[in-house]
């Protein structure tokens, strides 16, 4: 026998209103195609109100096979600014459609990931979102095939799922254009590059795309990069190191595009050490638009990662009436103009 302390049920409401459970169900779920007497409907609504009736979605789901929940599992650390935004976006979109969100992280362990997805599936989620904290191609776990799923901030090698990613190439073009607009035509250097590291000889997706965009926009204006410092993107010290080498040696760049805000922070640190002023001596533009960008002095112009919008989009694709078609959705990255770019003064 089930443990008892139960809530008010439709049966209670029916008894109270002197009608059958069916009638209650009809009224409470607001069905149109059945005409219940206004009077009965009033009694039912009144009784429900009075008793504090609340539907048991678990029971409802068992019957309807719809739980009004979606599961979001990401690979690593939600403890970044971006991750939070992505989740928020997803949440908003889910809420607008009366869904609740299961959230979990796999720690990039395929086994844990499998378990989490399965746990969500066992709880009959209506759909699954498979997210990564930094854009990349991933092998898609088997479980995604059992329910509608969309890929968030990652690409699908098999091409069978819809996926949502930032439009990195366009972002690269924009960054370059900001410099071009300010009048820079030479001495433009990139810090970060494709993010080639030991583990990733081809760099990362964002790096490759941003570089393509930068080079394309520059090429169209007939200008060439004066150089690229490939480095790890993960902390300011890498940007610092790159900038130091750059500023100490040969012809000094007059503008640098940093592959993210952290790197730009490192560049600021190196510039300050050399007594160089940003943007007077050195214009800087970066990507991501984390909080750091607005904290820096001068405030950093940055092309923003549209994580919130991506989260929203993923859920709306997932929950849209039609099955999401397996295409990749590139979300524009807006530029946040601040004070780190000036006309070159040489």
Partner DNA sequence: GTGAAAGCGCTAACAT
Partner DNA sequence: ATGTTAGCGCTTTCAC
* Site residues, DNA (CB under 7 A): 1-2, 6-7, 9-11, 18-23, 25-26, 28-29, 34-37, 39-41, 55-56, 59-60, 62-64
Q: Judged by CB under 8 A, which of 25, 80, 197, 274 binds its own copies?
A: 80
Q: Minimum distance between the CB of residue 72 and DNA, rounded to whole angstroms?
A: 24
69 is in the binding site of which of DNA, its own copies, none (Cβ under 5 to 8 A by kind)?
its own copies
Provide CB contacts within 8 A for 34, sequence distance 6+. Answer: 26
Q: Minimum distance between the CB of residue 183 and its own copies, rounded to whole angstroms?
A: 28
Q: Minimum distance between the CB of residue 10 and DNA, rounded to whole angstroms?
A: 3
Q: How far is CA 316 from the centre of its chain?
A: 13
Q: Minimum distance between the CB of residue 128 and its own copies, rounded to whole angstroms?
A: 13
Is residue 51 a contact residue for its own copies (CB under 8 A)? no
Paired sense of beta strands 149-156 and 162-166, if any? parallel
Is residue 83 a contact residue for its own copies (CB under 8 A)? yes
Provide CB contacts within 8 A for 318, sequence distance 6+. Answer: 70, 127, 128, 129, 148, 149, 150, 324
Q: Minimum distance between the CB of residue 117 and its own copies, rounded to whole angstroms?
A: 11
Answer whether 85's CB lies under 8 Å from 308's CB: yes
Is residue 55 a contact residue for its own copies (CB under 8 A)? yes
Q: Judged by CB under 8 A, which of 57, 196, 221, 223 binds its own copies?
A: 57
Provide CB contacts within 8 A for 37, sequence distance 6+. Answer: none
Please state the three-class secondary structure of 279-293 as a single string: CCCCEEEEEECCHHH
Decide: residue 309, CB within 10 A, 0-12 exposed, 13-18 middle, 19+ buried: buried
35 is in the binding site of which of DNA, its own copies, none (Cβ under 5 to 8 A by kind)?
DNA
Q: Minimum distance between the CB of residue 3 and DNA, rounded to whole angstroms?
A: 8
Is residue 62 a contact residue for its own copies (CB under 8 A)? yes
Q: Which residue reads 């678990």 in tokens? A: 58
Query: How far apart, in Å, are the Cα atoms of 200 and each of 197, 207, 231?
Result: 5, 11, 11
Is residue 121 a contact residue for its own copies (CB under 8 A)? yes
Q: Minimum distance between the CB of residue 322 and DNA, rounded to whole angstroms?
A: 21
337 is in the binding site of which of DNA, its own copies, none (Cβ under 5 to 8 A by kind)?
none
Answer whether 192's CB lies under 8 Å from 267's CB: no
Tokens of 149: 């799923």
Q: Minimum distance between the CB of residue 166 and DNA, rounded to whole angstroms?
A: 40
Decide: residue 30, CB within 10 A, 0-12 exposed, 13-18 middle, 19+ buried: exposed
Q: CA 303 to CA 171: how far, in whole Å?
A: 6
234 is in the binding site of which of its own copies, DNA, none (Cβ under 5 to 8 A by kind)?
none
Is residue 130 a contact residue for its own copies (CB under 8 A)? no
104 is in the binding site of which of DNA, its own copies, none (Cβ under 5 to 8 A by kind)?
its own copies
Question: Which residues contact its own copies (rule: CB under 8 A)?
Answer: 2-3, 6, 54-59, 61-65, 67, 69, 77-85, 87-88, 91, 95, 100-105, 116, 118-124, 235-237, 240, 262, 265, 269, 272, 292, 294-295, 297
């Amino acid at each position: 026998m089930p443990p008892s302390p139960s809530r008010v049920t439709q049966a209670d409401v029916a008894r109270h209103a002197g009608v059958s459970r069916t009638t209650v169900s009809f009224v409470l779920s607001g069905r149109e195609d059945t005409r219940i007497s206004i009077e009965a409907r009033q009694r039912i609504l009144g009784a429900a109100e009075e008793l504090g009736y609340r539907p048991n979605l678990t029971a409802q789901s068992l019957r309807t096979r719809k739980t009004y929940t979606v599961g979001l599992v990401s690979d690593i650390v939600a403890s970044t600014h971006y991750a939070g935004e992505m989740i928020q976006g997803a949440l908003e979109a889910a809420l607008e459609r009366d869904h609740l969100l299961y959230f979990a992280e796999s720690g990039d362990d395929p086994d844990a990931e499998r378990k989490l997805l399965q746990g969500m599936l066992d709880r009959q989620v209506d759909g699954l979102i498979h997210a990564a904290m930094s854009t990349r191609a991933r092998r898609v776990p088997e479980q995604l095939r059992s329910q509608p799923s969309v890929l968030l901030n990652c690409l699908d090698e098999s091409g069978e799922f819809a996926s949502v990613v930032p439009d990195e190439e366009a972002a690269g073009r924009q960054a370059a254009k900001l410099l071009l607009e300010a009048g820079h035509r030479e001495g433009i250097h990139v810090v970060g590059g494709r993010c080639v590291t030991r583990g990733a000889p081809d760099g990362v997706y964002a790096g490759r795309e941003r570089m393509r965009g930068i080079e394309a926009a520059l090429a169209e204006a007939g200008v060439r990069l004066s150089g690229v410092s490939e480095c790890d993107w993960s902390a300011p010290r890498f940007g610092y190191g790159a900038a130091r080498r750059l500023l100490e040696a040969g012809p000094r760049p007059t503008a640098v595009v940093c592959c993210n805000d952290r790197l730009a922070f490192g560049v600021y640190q190196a510039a300050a050490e050399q007594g160089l002023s940003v943007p007077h001596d050195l214009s800087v533009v970066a990507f991501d638009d984390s909080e750091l960008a607005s904290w820096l002095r001068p405030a950093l112009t940055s092309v923003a990662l549209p994580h919130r919008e991506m989260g929203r989009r993923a859920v709306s694709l997932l929950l849209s009436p039609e099955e999401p078609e397996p295409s990749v959705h590139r979300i524009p990255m807006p530029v946040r103009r601040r004070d780190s770019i000036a006309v070159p003064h040489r």
